[in-house]
Structure 1
Amino acid sequence: MFRRFCLLGLMLLSLNAIAGPEPTRFGDLVVYHNVFNSSMLQPDIAANAGLMRGPTHGVLNVAVQRPDGSAVDAVLKGEVRSLIGQPVALDFKRIQEGDAIYFVANYSATQRGVLLFKVDIQAEEGAMVHSLSFQQEFFPDDQ
């Protein structure tokens, strides 16, 4: 079990390093995020993380840190919507591996298009809420 989460963590870290945008800074919080198709995860790793896989499922990965690189066990709430659709709440799952903490959430889209994401981030309950908004084009898998 631990090995599977380590593999998931390594994949998420590598995605941040290779394909993720520059981090967003909110005061003393540094927020990393990336979006990828769920088919990039092995089935058993996705299942252990509580994520769905499939041609129309994507994954949003968020990591919150302090400037010194220490992980923040933040509170996240978010939503995703297409340009013409209603917002759909994101159900973030917390994954901790050693000192690293990640938050992952599934989303779905049946066709190629731009998706709008909004994630509210609090360093802890009662702290100031910071909003991260971005858009990402989704390409369903051809499987």
Structure 2
Amino acid sequence: MEMNMFKPWLLLVACLSLVATASGQQQEQNVKQLGKMEVHYIGIPTTFLTPEVAQSYKIERSRYRGLLNIVALDTTKEDTPALSVGISGTATNLVGQTFTLKFNKVTEGEAIYYLATIDYPNDETYRFDILINNNGDEQQLKFTQKFYVEE
């Protein structure tokens, strides 16, 4: 089999496997039902990615940079296919500084996901406010994520 057949799952598998082994980190995959969408989201330090995975997705690895990965699935269909949605959002730290997130859409085969990075100092908590537009059905995803700098 060609390596390209495995690429659609490369980033997702890397994120999930690293999250499962991250000791002392508040990292977990989350799922929320928003309207007719099932939204999966995760925030991890970019250092959790191997250099090869980071390079293939043009993500700069840094002890001070986090990666958000968001996937929207259509729950009205039996096989819950990935949705192509409009997505925008902000991250606000605890002192009220707000940062606009720039999401990049990644489409590989049937997989569609949205990636954004955020810079952070050590022990920083962000409140994320993400607007997801699925053909006019706008839903808001809100969650809090704490990032740590690896020593």
Q: Same fold (TM over 0.5)?
A: yes
For normalisation by structure 1, the TM-score amounts to 0.85
Deviation (angstroms), 1:5? 5.3
Structure 1 counterpart of 2:93, from 76, 79, 82 = 82
Question: In the TM superposition, what are the counterparts of 1:1-143 in structure 2 within 5 Å?
Answer: 2=4, 6-12=9-15, 19-21=28-30, 23-67=31-75, 68=78, 69-124=80-135, 127-142=136-151
Deviation (angstroms), 1:9? 3.6
For the residues of structure 2 that align with 1:141 and 1:33, how far apart are their CA atoms?
A: 22
Equivalent pair of 1:57/1:108 in contact (CA under 8 Å)? yes
For the residues of structure 2 that align with 1:97 and 1:13, how far apart are their CA atoms?
A: 18
Aligned CA distance change for structure 1 residues 16 and 90 (closer, same or farther; 3 Å): same
Q: In the TM superposition, what whole-angstrom CA distance separates every residue of 1:82-125 from its partner, at most 9, and x where no partner exists?
A: 1104211111111122211111110011121221111100113x
Q: Secondary structure at the match of 1:73?
A: coil
Larger Rg: 2
Equivalent pair of 1:32/1:62 in contact (CA under 8 Å)? yes
Aligned CA distance change for structure 1 residues 113 and 16 (closer, same or farther; 3 Å): closer
For normalisation by structure 2, the TM-score amounts to 0.81
Alignment: residue pair count: 139
The one-letter code sitting in structure 2 at the alignment partner of 1:130 is Q
Aligned CA distance change for structure 1 residues 15 and 39 (closer, same or farther; 3 Å): closer
Q: Secondary structure at the match of 1:11?
A: helix
Q: Secondary structure at the match of 1:52?
A: coil
